[in-house]
Amino acid sequence: MHRVEVEKNTLEANGRIAAENRALFKRLGAFVVNVMSAPGAGKTSVLEQTIKLMKENHKIGVIEGDLHTTIDADRISALGVDSYQITTGTVCHLDARMIRSGLQGFNVEGLDLLFIENVGNLVRPVEFDLGEDSRVMVFSVVEGADKPRKYPVMFHEVEAVLLNKIDLVPYSEIDLPKLMSNVLDVNPEARIFPVSCRTGAGLGRWTKWLEARIHSRASGGARARSAACSAGGER
């Protein structure tokens, strides 16, 4: 009973800070994407390729979340994009308070697009609102076609699922159509983007959808939202 109450209080406090973060991001004009996945699914590789495709037209920043090291933030910085590392120690997720604290040392003013790469964990990160505009998930196809059913919470809570490493499908026993079907069984509204960071397959459709989402938030118009729905992705 006490544990439930503590968890409720923690999430309520997080929600209040997330609302403050969201208001700040909106005031500064930054579209914020919370990128989540299990460890090793390829979040950082997806961000690297996305940045390469979008940085000519958008000013981009990245907040990195990891238990230890600045390895991922260093990879992002090497692309000429501002990055900020949050190390969480033993905590397997980012929360709104961590983001607020990070913003004291990382200036997001002037950014068009801010990615928050969450700590690699398939369950916990989705429970914490960070103040983002959109949640997306990177899923390595070699994790198995059954994972959306076995670990449905994150799949259910995201706008888009990037099925990464599709170049490995011919060398594995993964049934890609079955995997996609299982994603949609859990979240019928999800946009699915089969991608490969090694070959570049599917990344153009993903960035086109993301561009439409940015435009939708900026304009607030129904026409832009309709464009996002038609800009690639599979259901």
Cα separation of 41 and 145, whole Å? Answer: 14
Percent of the chain whose predicted confidence (pLDDT) is above 70: 91
pLDDT in tens, 145-166: 999 999 999 999 999 999 999 9
The CATH T-level fold of domain 2-202 is Rossmann fold (3.40.50)
Contacts of 177 (CB under 8 A, 6+ apart): none
**What burial letters (b/e) apply to 197-216, b meaning 16+ CB within 10 Å?**
beeeebbebbbbbbbbbbbb
Structure tokens at 142: 């070699």
Q: Cβ(232)–Cβ(209) under 8 Å? A: yes
Q: How confident is the model at residue 1 (pLDDT cuts 50, 70, 90)?
A: very low
Mean pLDDT of the chain: 92
Q: Cβ(137)–Cβ(117) under 8 Å? A: no
- Asked whether the predicted pLDDT for residue 19 surpasses 50, the reply is yes
Cα separation of 77 and 71, whole Å? Answer: 10
- Asked whether the predicted pLDDT for residue 53 surpasses 90, the reply is yes
Give alpha helix (H) positions in 55-95. Answer: 71-77
Neighbouring-strand partners of residue 35: 117, 136
- Asked whether the predicted pLDDT for residue 17 surpasses 60, the reply is yes
pLDDT in tens, 182-235: 999 999 999 999 999 999 999 999 999 999 999 887 776 444 444 455 556 776
